[in-house]
Structures are given as C-alpha cells and as structure tokens.
Amino acid sequence: MERGSLVTINEKIIYSPKGYKAAGLHCGLKEGDEKDLALIISDRVASAAGMFTTNRVCAAPVHLNREHLRNGRARAIVVNSKNANACTGDQGMADARQMAQWVGNGLDIAPEDALVNSTGVIGVPLPMGCLERGIQNIIPQLDVEGWDDASEAIMTTDTVPKKASVRCEIDGCEITIAGIAKGAGMIAPNMATMLAFVLTDAALSSGVLQDALCEAVTQSFNCITVDGDMSTNDTVLALANGAASERELTGADLRTFQSALNAVCISLAKQIARDGEGATKLITVRVDGAATGADARTVGLSVANSNLVKTAVFGRDPNWGRILCAVGYAGVAVDPDRTAVSMADIPIYANGSGLPFDQDRAIEALSASDIDIDINLNIGEASATIYTCDLTYDYVRINAEYTT
C-alpha cells in the first residue's frame, strides 16, 4: 500500500482500531431479546471530541457529555437504546451520572472518562435496574470483534446497523478509523436524530481531533435529511488513542487522516439517509453553479426537504416542477432561465422550461434504489451535496405507532 493511500471503505465488517473493544447485549429495555445496550472501551486514555444537537431542548446525556469532554479525554462510551432520557428533569441528569459511575466502577476508570448516550422515546424515566445489571453483564463481553453487537444495540427504528471502517498508511504506520451510527427518523441538519461513534488508533490532540471531526460532520451528518425534524439527543463522538503510533499527526499526514475520517463519516451518513423510516430509495441532491457554498447548501436542503419532491421520487414521477418550486423558495438568488435540472441522469429542465424526455425510460430509471437529482444554477462556481430519501406510506405508519 502506498503512503497515504486509502483502502476502500468497508461497510460490511469493522476493521477494529488497535486498543479498542466493544460489546452489545439485551438488558431489558426492548422487548424480546433485541440488543439495547452497547459499550466501547479504549485500553488507554484517548483524546476525545464531540458534536451535539443544536436543539435547545437537550437530553441529559448531551449535557453530561459536554461536561465530561471539557478535559479533552475519555476512555469509554456507553449507549442505551429505546429510552432517550430526555425531558426527564433532575432525575434524568442524576441517572446519566449514575450510568457513568457504573461504567467507571466496572472498568476501574474515572466516571468523567465515560461518555453516556441514550436514544429512544422522550420523557420516560430510565429503567435503572435494567441498566445497572446490563452494565455489569456487558463488561466481561468486551471484545475486539464486538462491533457488530454494539452497532445493533444502538438501533431504534433502524432496519439495519450502520458501520464503516477504513485503513490507511500514514508515516509507515497502518492507521484504522472505524465508526458505527444509528438513525432513521427525525433526521435534519444541523445534526439529526442520530448517534455516531468514531474510533481511531491515530494520535491527535483533542483540539486537532475536534477540528477534524467538525470538518467531517460538516460534509456528512450535516448534509443528510429524512424528514426535517431534529432531536434532543443527537451526538457524534470521536476518540483517538494513539495505539498505532504515538506521534501526533501534522501536515500532509493529518490531511490524509482527514480524508479518511471524512470518508467514514460520509459513508455512515449515507447509510442513515438510505435507511430513512419507510424509505425505499437514497436520493442524492447535487447543486452546482451557485454563487456561494452556503447558497448551494440552502438550495440542496430545500429540495431534499420537500415532501413533494420526496413523494415524487417514491412514485417514480419525474416532476421537475416540484424541484424548481423548491429551488425557488429556498431564499437565495436563482434565475429559472439559467437553471438546469437532471433526474436519474435524464435532463428534464433547462432554459426556463421543461425538456422533452422519454417518460417510460424515466419511470424505469426512477425505479432504482439510488436516485440522483442534479441542479446547476449557472450563477457561480460553488457546489454542495445533500443526501435524503423518498417519503413513503410506511413513514406515516412508523411514526403514528412509535410510542404505541
């Protein structure tokens, strides 16, 4: 492998970074035997970074993690699904601290080095008896091959686990970056109803790791939308423990790492969009020719959040009018006479009017599981890419029955 070259992103199995173990099990929060508790541990103190929901209504774990990350380090990440521990008052905060304490006691680490995460129904107290037993039981199961179990345990309405990993050679050392994520509904920038945990055996200071995570999230998790809703628990955490090389990355080596981190996060983000609640298609909205990057992003999100566009894709309807409508109300300067639109690689609009196209060919193209919508504003040089999914009957069913 040449210096700086990337191995193709692996979404099937996790390349385990050196010095980490993971586990997932059923502790009683979910019915049946579905896994609902995950734990990740680094065998040494790791630099830590995080990004969180911008919703002013934040869950207790978000507040606790912000507090624990002030020192820029962590050893463990614990996650429960089914219950968000959000809007649960002082008791919810006390329960989050107790989870950190149980992890700390079980692993013989400071509770401040444990990051706590919850996802699920809002406003319901945590069943602490289940979690205490679960944390006691999960610690002996920690394993370098425990990533599949951990990725399953953090799921809520997800239909599949989300995982991605990559290896790259940096300064003669093989560096691994691995991530798991959950998310299917209430997905919208900035940050979505999602959790993501990214681990690497590279060496970075907490400040550099925070900057790298911010760039990666900007290109990935903040470029996905399923339904325009934003949750109370959204969290992305990154740990870097230096187990592969203790030399901190700088210069070209850091840029290679950044590219790999971006790739892992983009893969996880696209997996979330593809698994949107009730979704049958991943939609990639590309906007080119915008005056600024912000304008391109705004137009892309306007189209991606349009229920009319999303239902048209579900119905295999090449309805360029819905796309143009969403472009026009995005709130940025556009010229419909200069704008061009393609759908599933079929040009459907240009020069101020619709273009002739083969309707049967378009319907066939829109039957694919991956649909591209390409918009060129022909105003400037800026571009953006947004990921979303179609809107189906099942989205309504899933959310109508969520707590019942």
Residue 29 contacts residue 212 (beta carbons within 8 Å): no
Bridge partners, residue 386, by sequence = 285
| Number of helical (H) and strand (E) elements in the chain, helices listed first | 11, 14
Cβ neighbours around 252 below 10 Å, total: 12
d(CA 257, CA 124): 40
Cβ neighbours around 216 below 10 Å, total: 29
d(CA 235, CA 181): 10
- Residue at token pair 């300064």: 171
d(CA 219, CA 401): 33
Strand order in the sheet with 282-290: 353-354, 346-350, 340-343, 370-376, 282-290, 382-389
d(CA 45, CA 326): 48
| 3-state secondary structure (DSSP) of residue 384 | strand
242 alpha carbon, distance to own chain's centre: 24
d(CA 53, CA 13): 28
d(CA 93, CA 86): 9
CA-based nearest residue to 234, from 224, 242, 244: 224
- Residue at token pair 């990639």: 284
Q: Which of 119, 156, 176, 193 is catalytic?
A: 193
| Residue 193 known to be catalytic | yes
Active site residues: 193
